[in-house]
Amino acid sequence: MATDHASRPRRRPKRLRAKPKPPLDVLQILAWADAFFERHGRWPISTDGRIREAADETWETVDTALCAGRRDLTPGSSLARLLSEHRGVRNRKALPPYTIDGILAWADAYRLPTGRWPNEDSGPVADAPGETWRAVEAALRVGIRGLPGGSSIARLLAEHRGVRNIANLPRLTVSKILAWADAHKRRMGRWPKGNDGPIPESPGDAWGAINVCLTHGRRGLPGGQSLARLLNRHRGVRNLKALPRYTERQILAWADAHYRRTRAWPKLNSGPIVDAPGETWWAVDAALSNGYRGLPGGSSLARLLQRRRGLRHKGDLPRFSVTKILAWARAHHRRTGKLPKKNSGPVFDSPGDTWMAVEMALTKGMRGLPGGSSLAKLLKGRKITKTKS
């Protein structure tokens, strides 16, 4: 009878048993690690692949054997622990605990050569290879490596070394700031400004920082102020960014007082206004010209005095004409018996004008004249000496 091959059960193939790996010992693993370090300048980790000196071995299998206690090894170790124990390699999973005294000692050592205290950006800790100030900061904040947490390098130094903590500065008050400003005035003979630098009465503070706190409302201040406004309000100091408004009436009153005192009308370079401390005639002229401090602009000190006090304005002099000049020349001849020359001084019939000014206008074409002439050319050949009967 024929046999039905399809109904026969299939035989499972025999599994080949993996050849057991040879036992490992610590000395052999350390020799492989030393060779790795000589080649790469660093110690191996479990992900570094095959071991060159042992073709069938990888650093991962070695690490697993150390952890599980396989291949005649004692369990409970690891590659990192082995290198830490026998080669002093830093094991990131078993870092030594920090202590407050230890961190403060590192900080003191950092300050000696640098003259400043460390912060989290200060890089490696010189006296603790492998440690960084960033790691110290993280441990102080989070509470790892034996620390309770909730602190920082800045807070630690503030508490134990009296170092100013920028993140936790003392509150400011208006009375404190005014006291510091009064001391500055006594010392320097003037009131402080925002760029005046450190405040001796408050080490670590500067006038620029105080101005920022007043403006933005920091360190217990309400904000919306400035150092200039504070001194203006409480000490009557002139605030250049909030100057009082001008009026033409006030400017004319100052000009009249200036004239009574000096017998001359003010000009833009006449300096300070005696009757208005802090004001200058230059500032008045600029405000009149450009429309500052409540004025409409488009004017000047000279134009204002011309319009309201009848003064001669050199920038807006009356026009000359040949007819006028000839009339002035006849009048000059009647008085002196001579024809005028460019150096004959004032023009008697035109107050404020001189014959030199007439000469310049004739020569260069100013004050309505075409130019290219002169006083001598204009008078030459004209019958100036004859008078009407």
Name the DSSP class of 94. Answer: G
84 has a pLDDT exceeding 90: no
Specify which residues 50 forms β-bridges with: 58
What pLDDT sits at residue 4? 52
Q: pLDDT tens-digit profile of 317-352?
A: 788 899 999 999 999 999 999 999 999 999 998 887
What pLDDT sits at residue 39? 94
Instruction: Give residue limits of the domains in the chain.
Output: 26-94, 100-168, 174-235, 248-316, 322-379
Q: Which structure tokens are listed for 64? A: 């697993």
Would you place residue 13 in the very low, low, confident or very high pLDDT band (cuts 50, 70, 90)? low
Would you place residue 314 in the very low, low, confident or very high pLDDT band (cuts 50, 70, 90)? confident
What pLDDT sits at residue 8? 61
pLDDT mean across residues, the chain: 89
> What is the DSSP secondary-structure string of 276-317?
STT-BHHHHHHHHHHT-TT---S--HHHHHHHHH----GGGP
Cα(16)–Cα(26) distance, integer angstroms: 30
Cα(359)–Cα(343) distance, integer angstroms: 9
| CA-to-CA dists, residue 276 to 132, 205, 260, 271, 302, angstroms | 62, 35, 16, 12, 19
**Is 226 within 8 Å of 215 (Cβ atoms)?**
yes
273 has a pLDDT exceeding 90: yes
Query: DSSP 3-state assignment of 21?
Result: coil
290 has a pLDDT exceeding 50: yes
What is the biggest distance separating any 2 CA atoms in the chain, rounded to whole angstroms?
177
CA dihedral 102, 107, 108, 114 (to 10 degrees): 150
What pLDDT sits at residue 14? 62
What pLDDT sits at residue 16? 61
